[in-house]
Amino acid sequence: MKTGLMRLLGATMLLGPTPAMAQDLVTHAPEVAIGVLRHGANFHPLGSQLTFPTLPPGQVYEGMEEDGTTDVQLVYRTKMLPIRWALKPRLTAKVQVSTAGKTSFASLGAEWRQHAFKGRVYAQVGIGVTIHDGYRYLPNPFLPGLDSAEAWRRYEIYQTRTGFGSRVLFNPNASIGVRIDRRWAVEATWEHFSHRQLFSDVNPGIDNVGIRLVRALGR
């Protein structure tokens, strides 16, 4: 009788994880994610959506030159690290590529997550350091002595690209995730890039909002 019960228990464990095992995977497994974000969403989660009056044709607000385009983001997260003094972070690596030929970003950082509703929902905040392939400073199309072709080339850049004032930026970010099952989750996310005028007086910053599909790795 005991032998049969042990065999049944062993088969059950092989067929599927117990709730404790599932929760362990949700909490501790490394993750990969792919996301689609609106590049230059003009949004900040700590305040209401910003609004600006319409400008005359040919004029743009600084920092809004790249707004409204689409980015694809790839993310890798380590498992939750048992570092109590650092509040058990996950280390993260992100690559955010502009599909419209605008600025792309690569970031390294850390994220902290808090679960609710037995792990079905979580809130997450993070901070990272970013480098980008865009402009530090935009070329001035109004310099005296430029020939017409060069002036128009610079003017197109002035209208369509953002000068961030630094090659290195900071990446505060926040997400809310809903778990589909023990391996898959969907996140609504906000990503910000700026340097808080630490490296120059030029610091327009940029906000991105979007959605990510997340998969936990491991068995």
- Residue bearing tokens 């002035």: 158
What's the pLDDT at 8?
Answer: 39
88, 77 Cβ separation under 8 angstroms: no
Top pLDDT among 131 and 54 is at: 131
Instruction: Return d(Cα 66, Cα 39) in angstroms, integer.
Output: 7
* Mean pLDDT of the region 87-102: 95
Q: Judge whether residue 51 has pLDDT over 50.
A: yes
What's the pLDDT at 91?
Answer: 97
Q: Judge whether residue 148 has pLDDT over 60.
A: yes
| DSSP 8-state code for residue 2 | H
Q: Which of 115, 104, 129 is nearest to 208 (CA)?
A: 104
Instruction: Return d(Cα 208, Cα 67) in angstroms, integer.
Output: 9
65 Cβ contact list (under 8 Å, min separation 6) = 158, 159, 160, 161, 162
Instruction: Return d(Cα 206, Cα 193) in angstroms, integer.
Output: 5
> Can you give the C-alpha Rg of the chain in angstroms?
23
- pLDDT bin (cut points 50, 70, 90) of residue 118 is confident
* Mean pLDDT of the region 100-124: 94
* Mean pLDDT of the region 27-54: 74
* Mean pLDDT of the region 90-107: 97
- pLDDT bin (cut points 50, 70, 90) of residue 26 is low
Q: Judge whether residue 14 has pLDDT over 50.
A: no
Give me the percent of the chain exceeding a pLDDT of 90.
59
Phi first, then psi, for residue 216 (nearest 5°) are: -80, 135
